[in-house]
Amino acid sequence: TGKLPGVQSARIAGTGPPAVPGYRALRLIGEGGSARVYLAERVHDAKTLVLKILDPALRNDPVFMARFGQEYKLLASLDDEHVAQIYDQGFAGSFPFIAMEYLPEGDLKAKIIDGLAPRQALRLLGQIAKALDAIHRHGIVHRDLKPQNILFRSNGLPVIVDFGLARALASDFTLARKGQMIATARYLSPEQCLGQPADARSDLYSLGVIFYEMLTQKRLYDATTDKEMLRQHVKGTQPKLPPPLTGCQRAIDPPMARASRDRHQGGHDLYAHIEIWTHIRANDM
């Protein structure tokens, strides 16, 4: 298995942020292949927030535009401490933008790279399971959970972001681009890999993959292509933790069961399992 890669930077064309009416960009705090993220303030009340400025080419992408509208619609229905608040979204000229809550403590990917003790990883697993339970109780499945989509408040509470692929559990709304991955293959559940419907248990599988990375700082499968990664999720062996992490095996097995019926049925069940199990095994950790 390979070590987790560091952040790779890819730039959107242009040297500075576009002017977004009502907001003042302060400084660049992150960027990727399709977006730049700025610390900003809202002009009318000086509230500190985040402006996510997206590549203007995305405006011509019908799949992206559907995701763009769907995310705002879903998050407008949520009011929960485990979900980042979105204040506004729209267009600054040709640039799509999102104005969202500023979460100052970084993301889970950074914590994984820095290294987590098994106790820390277990505690985070339980907290993120509670966050997922909050989302699922609102009838929403995330469908693209990964370390970059888990941020932290100043009190350490994990917050789930990036609901561009989320959908209401009761809805048949789907987004796909023929021949191209949209969600992140490394964290997809077997049923998603097979093109089957995703539900709350699919998010738990993704969390199981993330837990493996929290414990080992390694990728679950050493696949070089998305196709091979999907095959491994469907047909690969159940992950076995190396010594001295074998004490956590009973925590990773249920969320990573290949068949969704064999997993916990929701975040609450996973959280309760962790609480009981860690209490019993406290002397072994």
Helix (H) or strand (E) holding 211: helix 200-216
Catalytic, 269? Answer no
As a whole number of angstroms, the distance between CA 84 and CA 161 comes to: 6
- Both structure tokens of 103: 């979460």
- Both structure tokens of 23: 């907001």
C-alpha atoms less than 13 angstroms from C-alpha of 160 in its C-beta half-sphere:
30
> Percent helix, strand and coil across the chain, each rounded to 5?
40, 20, 40
Choice among 144, 162, 203, 269 that is catalytic: 144
CB atoms under 10 Å from CB of 62, counted, come to 9
**Total number of residues shown for the chain:** 285
Residue 130 sits at the vertex; the CA angle it makes with 126 and 133, to the nearest 5 degrees, is 135
Contact between 149 and 162 under an 8 Å Cβ cutoff? The reply is yes
Contact between 276 and 215 under an 8 Å Cβ cutoff? The reply is no
Residue whose token pair is 């837990």: 211
- Both structure tokens of 28: 């660049």
Task: State the catalytic residues.
Answer: 144
